[in-house]
Chain A
Amino acid sequence: MSDKKEFWRWKEYRWHDEAKDWKAADIVSAGVDIGSVSSQAVIMLDGELFAFSNQRTGFDSPESANKAIIWAMEGTGMTLDDIHFSVGTGYGRVNVPFADKAITEIACHARGGNFMYGSSVRTILDMGGQDCKAIRCDERGKVEAFLMNDKCAAGTGRGMEVFADLLSVPIEDVGEMSLSVEKEPEPVSSTCVVFAKSEASALLREGWPKTKVLAAYCSAMAHRVVTLLERIEVEKDFAITGGIGKNSGVVKRIEKELGLEALTTTYDSQIAGALGGALFGMALEKKRRK
């Protein structure tokens, strides 16, 4: 086995609220977000967060979906049969074997973002593993406008992973390191991962410190995303969901360009989609029982 350190690897984890008794809940709903890079499962009791898991997506979507939900239920005594309504979302949403319905990430992120950041959120930028979405929503988390860019990995978690690996920097440290530069360098000219990678290699050979290369890449990513946001007209409050939402180097630069601060949350920004799915699950179960 190779002992090469995997710098891109972020922490997988699960959580559940031990103070809650799921057997007392009227509606148990679940949302499972199968992204190209990561998968999350969220379980809610009458619209309150009960459990979640966050892990890497495997090669097989149905398998990843099963693993995600089983991990979220671990130690709770709950089984799949105890869940009244499950929603699949994300890139692999049609491949969630136990889902009662598949719903787009757009709808789920708006709904989940509304729950996580509060009803003042009007613009949500989701920077996921392989695409980037800009969503404008109302105070109930209903989508008013959206735009999705899924043509290339620029501005995505996958691109950032490739970069962290190239520079041998742990992915959690990329943001902070990129902010430690004294003077902001010119952004790399290309945000296409393949080109940006060779551009970065060239800069390293020229003797640029890693922090400066990271700064140049994070700012290119931020700029690219801001141009995408222009089309849907950013309204505050503004929030960033998805894995890149945890990268301060990109978030700070987006805030600077927009002149707006992004809301923060105590929730994990990566679970927004699954959370939205679970909320829809509850609403749809109520509708079904009527």
Chain B
Amino acid sequence: MIANYGYKDGSGDFFIAIDTDKCDGCGDCVPACPNGVFAVGEDPNDPLCDEPVAMVTDQERRKLKYTCAQCKPDHDRPPLPCVAACKPMAIEHSW
């Protein structure tokens, strides 16, 4: 499943997409993110599946543009810590 967390507003699309088929629930993204955007647990959108997966926390979903700004300087964009930490490459940002 491609789980798109985030929002769209007048200034653009701000979504973090987690591919739950690639995500193995290892939890590496949780400490990698300086702002606590991720949590790992039972997939809230697939109640019949018992494997844990990563998700974006409720508190962060509505403010990703601001939360992630610190990792996304205008120039010379380094790899995002969350994306770099995820070995199966399950995390993508839309902006």
Residues of A within 8 A of B15 (CB): 147, 231
Q: Is the contact region of chain A dominated by helix, strand, or loop, or is it mixed?
A: mixed
Contact indicator B4/A284 (Cβ below 8 Å)? no
Instruction: Give A183-238 interface residues, CB cut-off 8 Å to B.
Output: 227-228, 231-232
Contact indicator A107/B8 (Cβ below 8 Å)? no
Contact indicator B4/A151 (Cβ below 8 Å)? no
* Closest Cβ–Cβ distance, residue B41 to chain A (whole Å): 12
Residues of B within 8 A of A283 (CB): 48
A to B CB contacts below 8 Å, 18 in the list: A103-B44, A106-B45, A107-B44, A143-B1, A143-B45, A143-B46, A145-B1, A146-B4, A146-B45, A147-B15, A148-B61, A150-B62, A228-B8, A231-B4, A231-B13, A231-B94, A232-B4, A280-B48
Contact indicator A104/B1 (Cβ below 8 Å)? no
Among the listed A104, A228, A231, which residue makes an inter-chain contact with B45, where contact means beta carbons less than 8 Å apart? A104
Interface size class of A (residues with CB under 8 A): 20 to 34
Residues of B within 8 A of A146 (CB): 1-4, 45
Say whether A26 faces chain B, with CB atoms less than 8 Å apart. no
Instruction: Give A85-101 interface residues, CB cut-off 8 Å to B.
Output: 101
Say whether A261 faces chain B, with CB atoms less than 8 Å apart. no
B contact residues vs A (CB 8 Å cutoff): 1-5, 7-9, 13, 15, 44-48, 61-62, 94
Q: What per-residue 1/0 map shows which CB atoms of A134-171 lie under 8 Å from chain B?
A: 00000000111111111110000000000000000000
A contact residues vs B (CB 8 Å cutoff): 101, 103-104, 106-107, 142-152, 227-228, 231-232, 280, 283-284, 287
Q: Complex formed: what's the CA distance from A107 to B8 in Å?
A: 21
Contact indicator B9/A145 (Cβ below 8 Å)? no
* Closest Cβ–Cβ distance, residue A125 to chain B (whole Å): 14
Contact indicator B47/A144 (Cβ below 8 Å)? no
Contact indicator A144/B48 (Cβ below 8 Å)? no
Residues of B within 8 A of A232 (CB): 2, 4
Q: Given known contacts A144-B2, A231-B15, is B9 in contact with A151 (CB within 8 Å)?
A: yes
Residues of A within 8 A of B1 (CB): 143-146
* Closest Cβ–Cβ distance, residue B20 to chain A (whole Å): 9
Contact indicator B47/A101 (Cβ below 8 Å)? yes
Among the listed B3, B7, B94, which residue makes an inter-chain contact with A149, where contact means beta carbons less than 8 Å apart? B7
* Closest Cβ–Cβ distance, residue B55 to chain A (whole Å): 10
* Closest Cβ–Cβ distance, residue B59 to chain A (whole Å): 13
Known: A103-B44, A146-B4, A228-B8. 20 other contacts (CB 8 A): A101-B47, A103-B47, A106-B45, A107-B46, A107-B47, A145-B1, A145-B2, A146-B2, A146-B45, A147-B15, A148-B4, A148-B5, A148-B61, A150-B62, A151-B62, A152-B9, A231-B15, A280-B47, A284-B48, A287-B48
